[in-house]
Amino acid sequence: MADDKDQPRKKGTLIGVGAPSAEEIAADAAEKAKAAADEASASERIAERAAREAADDEKHVPTKATAKAADEAEDAAEEAELDASAAKAAAEVAKSAAKKAAKASFEGDEAHAKEEAEKAVAAADRAKKAAKAASDAKEQAVTAQKKADHARMTHEGEGDEPEKRPALYLAQYETPEALAEAAKKVRDAGYEKWDCHTPYPVHGLDDAMGLKPTKLGFVSFIAGMTGLVSAVLMIQYMNNWDYPVIIGGKPNGIGGFPAMVPIMFELTILLTGFGTLFGLFHFTKLPRHHHPIFESDRFEASTDDKFFISIEVGDEKFDMKKTRALLESTHPSFVELVEEEVG
């Protein structure tokens, strides 16, 4: 740029010989600015198309990854648009400066012509810069669109950092006493979807957490009675109705009751056992091998010697700030926001 400025100063007086006049310089700058503006608007168009395609991908496969890529592409397209309009404006300025320079040159006002030529050159520079920015934005839009494509094809966020969203707050305590105290506070604050995690069953936590008694016993009882009844029905069907077996002249029906007792008893026990096992699975919703709480490395100590309280995002009262403040008021050794992967 310094060269461009210096040259007309040194050789401006020699009209038409070797060195360009201010008029020529201005015209040249205006041309360059126009070219830059054209390029910028081309970038803009490409970026816009990329953004449209990315949005299309998102519409077809609405995953987090495609949404993210589409957003990126849209942002880049907007930027390209701004840059392109800046380039156009600069080109306009350069054009009018070139006209003024030509007029001044015609009128013989060489100094004014030079001034205008400089303006034109500066405007052309701005236009070039804007075009460059537009081109960068275009590149971004295209990259984003490719990402969206890829995400659409693989149905997942590729290679880059997995998407995360907050799942729960985890507070750690060192002693069961501290845990029980904290549990009472969380209970009194009215939370529902929260839990204590302990290496062994800590007594008194039922009350501290405000839990209702378990109904597992009902399930076991019903299962046990089913066992009892099915034993009677089985024996009666098999040994009395379907194929009567008379051993030692002993009766098969109700008179043979004592002989049925051992198997009635065993089947009662057997089905109570199964009922209890599957009832336990039902109430605890186990087996469940994935849970966001396992994202926390600190949580590994929950099966060793540390005590935890977790409050889930899904709770109605959950609030990123208030919940944290509540947990911090219970003197935990750590409070941690556990995030789960999505998509």
Partner 1 sequence: MSAAAPIHEIGERSLLPEGTTFNDITESVCRVTETKAPRGWWILFLPSLGLLGLMVACIGYLVTMGVGVWGNNSPNYWAWDITNFVWWIGIGHAGTLISAILFLFRQNWRTSINRFAEAMTVFAVLCAAIFPALHTGRPWFDYYLFPIPNQMAMWPNFKSPLMWDVFAVNTYLTISVIFWFVGLIPDLATLRDRSKSLLRKRIYGALALGWRGSHRHWQHYERAYLIFAAISTPLVLSVHSVVSFDFATSVMPGWHTTIFPPYFVAGAVFSGFALVLTLMLIVRTVFGLQNLVTLKHLDLMNKFMLGTGIMVGYAYAMEFFIAWYSGNPYESWVFFHNRLGFGYLDQQGNWGPLWWSYWAMVSCNVISPQLFWFKKIRTSIPAMFVITIFINIGMWFERFVIIVTSLYRDFLPGSWGSFEATWIDICLYLGTFGLFLTLFLLFVRWIPMFAIAEIKAVLPHAHPHAHHDDEHEHEPHHGAETAPAPAE
Q: Considering only residues 225-284, where is the footprint of partner 1 by CB under 8 A?
A: 234-235, 238-239, 242-243, 245, 247, 250, 256, 259-260, 262-263, 265-267, 269-270, 272-274, 276-277, 279-280, 283-284
Instruction: Kindly state the smallest distance separating residue 274's Cβ from partner 1, in Å.
Output: 8
231, 195 contact by CB (below 8 A): no
Instruction: Kindly state the smallest distance separating residue 37's Cβ from partner 1, in Å.
Output: 58
Q: Which is nearer to partner 1, 211 or 325 (CB)?
A: 211
Interacting span for partner 1 (CB under 8 A) from 55-63, 129-137, 173-181, 332-340: 173-181
What is the residue whose two structure tokens read 């500066």? 122
Can you tell me the distance from the alpha carbon of 130 to that of 124, in angstroms, rounded to the nearest whole number?
10
Q: Which is nearer to partner 1, 21 or 272 (CB)?
A: 272
Can you tell me the distance from the alpha carbon of 252 to that of 259, in angstroms, rounded to the nearest whole number?
9
334, 172 contact by CB (below 8 A): yes
Interacting span for partner 1 (CB under 8 A) from 24-32, 56-64, 132-140, 168-176: 168-176
Does the protein bind partner 1 through residue 104 (CB under 8 A)? Answer: no
Interacting span for partner 1 (CB under 8 A) from 18-26, 37-45, 149-157, 303-311: 303-311
> How many chain residues interact with partner 1 (CB under 8 A)?
68
Q: Which is nearer to partner 1, 111 or 246 (CB)?
A: 246
Radius of gyration of the chain (CA): 40
Q: Which is nearer to partner 1, 256 or 343 (CB)?
A: 256
Can you tell me the distance from the alpha carbon of 299 to that of 336, in angstroms, rounded to the nearest whole number?
10
Q: Considering only residues 31-90, where is the footprint of partner 1 by CB under 8 A?
A: none
N residues, the chain: 343
Q: Quick one: 200 exposed, middle or buried, by C-beta within 10 A (0-12, 13-18, 19+)? A: exposed
Interacting span for partner 1 (CB under 8 A) from 12-20, 189-197, 321-329, 334-342: 189-197
Can you tell me the distance from the alpha carbon of 99 to that of 93, in angstroms, rounded to the nearest whole number?
10
The one-letter code for the residue type at 306 is: K
**Is the preceding omega at residue 20 within 30 degrees of 0, hence cis?**
no
CA 197 distance to own-chain centroid: 26
H-type helices in 175-215, by residue range? Answer: 176-188, 205-209
Instruction: Kindly state the smallest distance separating residue 39's Cβ from partner 1, in Å.
Output: 53
Does the protein bind partner 1 through residue 13 (CB under 8 A)? Answer: no
Residues 6+ apart with CB under 8 A from 152: 57, 60, 61, 66
Task: Tell me the CA end-to-end span of the chain in Å, nearest whole number.
Answer: 51
Interacting span for partner 1 (CB under 8 A) from 110-118, 149-157, 196-204, 322-330: 196-204
Instruction: Kindly state the smallest distance separating residue 294's Cβ from partner 1, in Å.
Output: 7
Instruction: Kindly state the smallest distance separating residue 186's Cβ from partner 1, in Å.
Output: 12
Does the protein bind partner 1 through residue 216 (CB under 8 A)? Answer: yes
